[in-house]
A and B are shown apart, each in its own frame.
Chain A
Amino acid sequence: MLRLERRPQPSRVWVWATPVLAVCLTMIAGGILFAILGKDPVAAIRMIFWDPLFSQQFAAFSRPQLLVKAGPLILIAVGLAIGFRAGIWNIGAEGQYIIGALCAAAVALAFFPSGPADVRLFGTVLFSFDAAPSRWWLFPLTIVAGAAGGFLWAMIPAILKTRFNTNEILVSLLLVYVAEKLLAAASVGWLRNPQGAGFPGSRNLSQFPAVANPEILPGTGMHWGVAIAFVAVIFGYVLLHRHMLGFHVQLAGQAPRAARFAGVAPARLVVFCLGISGLLAGLAGMFEVTGPARMITIDFNVGYGFTAIIVAFLGRLHPVGIVLAGLLMALTYIGGELAQFMLGLPSAAIQVFQGMLLFFLLALDMLSNYRIRLAYREAA
């Protein structure tokens, strides 16, 4: 019989070896899945992991996409990782991402240069703006709006948790559906393009240079959101590993009782962790709507907020690990799309692939926390 023996401390080697092993196992399991779907497994895996970066045919288009997709994933995952370490589970980042984008778009569209713009709610004009394009403060204002939107949306589960002891997992998740309905309402209602012939969707923000978030370096996919994501990574590293607050976060996660004796206020920590992750998710939404997505549409959100959960775990809740994990997950998105076009691989197959990755990771984590021993029958 095999017996598990808890390690006094997680093995440092295994902590970083498990993600690599998990990726390898997922490739094998994914290959089997693709074979069942009637696709050549080797070609499919190669198309997902190799071709977007190195094939002459696709790399020119795919490589910049890597940063475009990794940016929001990393930005959101860094925030989530801080909370996860403290045992505070914000799983509604998708909702905070949507609300951040909506708030940013609302601010940007209020200043859209096409005559006075009205901000409406339920058909009544709340206030009216005169168009004032190309003001330097407009882009920062949009950023603040996005961050504030995500932050405030995350404050709902935070305050309900601290005031009423309500489970933050359920509330933050349920708010994702509310946010999705708000998004739908916005794209057919109060943010709809008045010149869009009645089609759902807002105006194209890329046509509004004062708020647009284009590529900083052409051909790299680098936009302001990616830059901010790397700033967030550094911030996250300093916070978690070089700052007292980070120590409190880890303490609260690993030994809640000890944390209380050490003077960590649980309520403040909940507000901080949910707030920071909501803020970063809102920022991600802001940079997405003004950048790659260009506008608010009903299907604006594509699940970054959920994939970021996988990214956070795959990156071992460590900011540097999250960068690598974010790039890898971005690669599966891009490679998945490529395989969809070239091999007819169903788009859902990539979702399954990402889900399997998390399964393997969680399963293999046992190796970092436990030693496997052969059990001997003990004398009675």
Chain B
Amino acid sequence: MMDLSSINPVVLVAALMVAATPILLAAIGELVVEKAGVLNLGVEGMMITGAVTGFAFAVTSGNPYLGMVAAATGGALLALIFALLTQYLMANQVATGLALTLFGLGFSALLGQGYSGVSPPRTPRLDFGWLAEIPVLGPIVFRHDPLVYVSIIIVAAVWWFLRYSRAGRILRAVGENHDAAHALGYRVRMVRVAAIAFGGACAGLGGAYLSLIRVPQWTEGMTAGAGWIALALVVFASWRPWRALLGAYLFGGIVTLQLTLQAAGWRIPVEYLAMAPYLVTIVVLVVISSGRARRTLAAPGSLGRPFHAAG
């Protein structure tokens, strides 16, 4: 028998923010990449590489923050392979992104040997003192680990960057029409390589959040499609940072609710409940890509198209 009264909404909201943070980080990175006109399908591969490098560095050094830096670096390095292949060797972006994911999954399994079953050093929550004691608001807003706040700051920074900074406008120009941007003298490739590296760093950080804070443990293939869900999230967000945040938290809510229902002993078998995040993502993709919503999608004009400056 299921006991719904055991579900505490405050705990649920606090938990959904934790569940949302890894895909939010990955999605905000990919959003910048796609705004620059590049489609990197390797998010899953970069995330899991970040998860394992972060875990390994954190365990070896005993410092979770060092692990997070390593994860971002690892994700960015893997992304630079993608940048080299697609921007300089003119490889197909879809195929290269897939290669990144396949390679990342294998590479992480290789690096992660000997780390399964190990506990990472704990990441302490930020101490807000009396603020954390406020009823309802305290547990939701003031009792998280630093990375939850960092992810929100990154979203805000990306929003500001894309909207108000000169560099952000150049990046958008490159993504909307790379030929025009090139003609204006902007360095299309450089902008894109930088965006790709940033996307990789964010995905790596998202992966580290999984292995260091959310789970916290290393298991092979632990991202379980989170990278792909992040890609879907960018579409859901119509390439707008704050909508990515909203989407990630909605999604986090579904994941948390599904886990809570499992724990509360709902009669549907675990396997079917566990399908929910993927099915919901598909349904959302359908709703957002069809009908009236479609016109407001506003995908960057040069998304996924290769750029080769003639002459």
Contact = CB atoms under 8 A, between A and B. Distances in A.
Given A358-B102, A359-B103, A365-B91, A181 B110 contact: no
Contact of A160 (B113, B220, B269, B282): B282
B151 interface: no
Interface residues of A, number: 50
Contacts of A349: 106, 110
Contact of B99 (A4, A176, A355): A355
Interface string B211-239: 00000000010001100110110010000
A91 interface: yes
Nearest to B90: A366
B296 interface: no
Main secondary structure of the interface of A (DSSP, over half): helix
Contacts of B228: 170, 173-174
B89 interface: yes
Contacts of B105: 351, 355
B160 interface: no
Interface in A337-380: 346-356, 358-359, 362-363, 365-366, 369-370, 378
Contacts of A169: 41, 94
B137 to A, nearest CB: 35
Interface string A181-217: 1101100110000000000000000000000000000
A164 B290 contact: yes
A175 B228 CA distance: 11
Contacts of A313: 95
Contacts of B106: 348-355
Contacts of B95: 313, 358, 362
Interface string B272-294: 10110011011001100111001
A54 interface: no
Contact of A346 (B94, B110, B281): B110
B229 to A, nearest CB: 7
A185 B271 CA distance: 6
A173 B94 CA distance: 13
Interface in A116-163: 160, 163
A310 B91 CA distance: 14
B107 interface: yes
Contacts of B235: 167, 170
Contacts of A185: 269, 271-272
Contact of A352 (B89, B98, B110, B225): B110
A4 B232 CA distance: 34
Contacts of A309: 98, 102
Interface residues of B, number: 48
B158 interface: no
B201 interface: no
A166 interface: yes
B165 interface: no
A171 interface: yes
B282 A91 contact: no
Contacts of A231: none
Given A181-B271, A189-B269, A346 B102 contact: no
A362 B95 CA distance: 8
A157 to B, nearest CB: 9
Nearest to A176: B225
Contacts of A369: 90
Contacts of A358: 95, 98-99, 102-103
A56 B311 CA distance: 57
Contacts of B90: 4, 366, 369-370
Contact of A356 (B103, B109, B269): B103
Interface in B232-286: 232, 235, 269, 271-272, 274-275, 278-279, 281-282, 285-286
A301 to B, nearest CB: 12
Given A178-B279, A346-B110, A355 B102 contact: yes
Nearest to A309: B98
A184 B81 CA distance: 35
12 contacts: A160-B282, A164-B289, A167-B235, A169-B41, A170-B282, A174-B232, A178-B278, A189-B271, A309-B102, A350-B106, A352-B103, A359-B81
Interface of B: 41, 81, 84-85, 89-92, 94-96, 98-99, 102-107, 109-110, 113, 220, 224-225, 228-229, 231-232, 235, 269, 271-272, 274-275, 278-279, 281-282, 285-286, 289-291, 294, 308, 310-311
Interface of A: 4, 6, 37, 89, 91, 160, 163-167, 169-171, 173-178, 181-182, 184-185, 188-189, 306, 309-310, 313, 346-356, 358-359, 362-363, 365-366, 369-370, 378
- Across the A-B interface, give the 5 residue pairs with the lowest CB-CB distance, nearest first: A351-B106, A355-B103, A348-B109, A185-B271, A164-B290
